[in-house]
Amino acid sequence: MDESDLPAANQRINGWYELFSRGARDWLRHNEKVRDAVREHLPEIIAGADVVGGGARTVRVPVRMLEHYHFRLRKPSEREGVGQGAAKPGDVLAKPNQPGPGKGAGGKDDGGLEFTLEFKVEDIVDWLWEEMKLPNLKPRVGKAEEVDWTREGWDKRGARSRLDRRRSLRESIKRRAVQGKSPAFTDDDLRFRQLAKREQPAVQAVVFLLLDVSGSMSERDRQLSKTFFFWAVQGLRRQYRQLDTVFVAHTTEAWEFSEQEFFDVSGSGGTVASAGLAKVREIIDARFSPSRYNIYLFYASDGDNYTADRPQAEAALAGIAEVANYCGYLEVSTGADREMNSETATLFKAAAGGANTIGSFPLGRTEDVWDAVRHFFKQQAGVT
């Protein structure tokens, strides 16, 4: 049917429903509610989510559609109904656990549809920080100033690229309201955005993710470390506009990797922590001057360091601790060994000596990832 068939009365409103879908509006509202619900269980969901695929910006979480509840009778063990077709009493139309013939058989009210919602990692991190009342990090270095341009105010003159159309139109409307019939735009109507110089403290940071890839670290241990690293980095990103990440893996030797390669690395042989720590110090000296950078180190290992390495490791750790904002040691152990009396744990405990800048935490299950993140960030901020 043509539009022209429609009576005049309908012609006026014809088409509004093509611009605006109420179903879609209410569906979006539903999704918002789901988000709120998900938000309440975020730590559990995040522990399970597979987030670490080369700098994921979003997390996909499977969710269920919400049900608007009504009073209903309890589901009966048998359901009666009326059917239609050639069948006589006693006929069996479906055997147990077979779908019945025709449409309408079986209940559709069970379960409900599952779908996936995507969450922005940044949003999640913000929620978590709010939810867990995590403190913001304390940048240590802030002397070096950076000059930055920010938008500030409007002017009648400026570069064409900074023309603010909305404001200009507003001026034009105001003028025409007063002047009546007059040209649509005059030069006087034009408004240009102005930029102003602002000096900001330099907030640069680098985080070293040091991973023990010796033979004793299982695939699962590495996966746990990976999840922890991901969220730790997100937490830092929240604070620092510019965050460099450096990935170092070690066995008895140490290497720097790109992010992609890093999580696929698996080595064999023993663990010499001092090799990894020395490598970190080497990179700091070469590329990240402590006077310009806030330095963070997270080290994940199963704790089986060579006993003979103790003196070197102590020295290397002390070398980093004196320039770093924080050094965290994550002991990844399959057994829920919370004692933390492995070689490496002892090393970090000794180095900490009550200071806030070195800490350790045991990580045994995915559910603990959040406790670990919380522990480190709280300690770093001096809150316990």
Q: How far is the CB of 65 from another protein (least distance, A)?
A: 5
Strands 114-120 and 58-64: antiparallel
160, 163, 381 from 138: Cα distances, Å: 41, 39, 6
Beta bridge mates, 250: 212, 254
Q: How far is the CB of 92 from another protein (least distance, A)?
A: 5
Q: Are 294 and 139 contacting, i.e. CB atoms less than 8 angstroms apart?
A: yes
* End-to-end CA gap in the chain: 72
Query: What is the rounded distance in angstroms from the CA atom of residue 250 to the CA atom of residue 270?
Result: 9
Give the nearer residue to another protein in terms of CB position, either 3 or 187. Answer: 3
Q: Are 336 and 324 contacting, i.e. CB atoms less than 8 angstroms apart?
A: no
- Of 1-9, 227-235, 290-298, 333-341, the window that binds another protein (rule: CB under 8 A) is 1-9
Q: How far is the CB of 62 from another protein (least distance, A)?
A: 16
Give the nearer residue to another protein in terms of CB position, either 54 or 96. Answer: 96
Pick one of 76, 180, 353, 354: the residue that binds another protein (CB under 8 A): 76
Which residues in the 13-52 window bind another protein by CB under 8 A? 14, 17-18, 21-31, 33
Query: What is the rounded distance in angstroms from the CA atom of residue 357 to the CA atom of residue 222?
Result: 24
The yes or no reply on residue 311 touching another protein (CB under 8 A) is no
- Of 80-88, 120-128, 304-312, 356-364, the window that binds another protein (rule: CB under 8 A) is 80-88
Work out the number of other CB atoms within 10 angstroms of the CB of residue 246.
21
Q: Among candidates 197, 200, 196, 178, which has minimal Cα distance to 188?
A: 178
Side-chain-facing half-sphere of 287: CA atoms under 13 Å: 14
The yes or no reply on residue 89 touching another protein (CB under 8 A) is yes
The yes or no reply on residue 77 touching another protein (CB under 8 A) is yes
Pick one of 93, 315, 350, 355: the residue that binds another protein (CB under 8 A): 93
The yes or no reply on residue 116 touching another protein (CB under 8 A) is no
Beta bridge mates, 256: 248
Side-chain-facing half-sphere of 263: CA atoms under 13 Å: 18
Pick one of 55, 62, 100, 215: the residue that binds another protein (CB under 8 A): 100
Number of residues engaging another protein in binding (CB under 8 A) = 66
**Which secondary structure element, helix H or strand E, spans residue 179, and what is its range?**
helix 165-179
Give the nearer residue to another protein in terms of CB position, either 30 or 198. Answer: 30
Work out the number of other CB atoms within 10 angstroms of the CB of residue 328.
25
The yes or no reply on residue 63 touching another protein (CB under 8 A) is no
Query: What is the rounded distance in angstroms from the CA atom of residue 99 to the CA atom of residue 241?
Result: 58
- Of 95-103, 220-228, 255-263, 316-324, the window that binds another protein (rule: CB under 8 A) is 95-103
Pick one of 55, 101, 135, 201: the residue that binds another protein (CB under 8 A): 101
The yes or no reply on residue 114 touching another protein (CB under 8 A) is no
Give the nearer residue to another protein in terms of CB position, either 109 or 322. Answer: 109
Pick one of 44, 50, 55, 66: the residue that binds another protein (CB under 8 A): 66
Q: How far is the CB of 219 from another protein (least distance, A)?
A: 39
Query: What is the rounded distance in angstroms from the CA atom of residue 126 to the CA atom of residue 14?
Result: 44
**Binding-site ranges for another protein (CB under 8 A):** 1-2, 4-7, 9-10, 14, 17-18, 21-31, 33, 65-106, 113
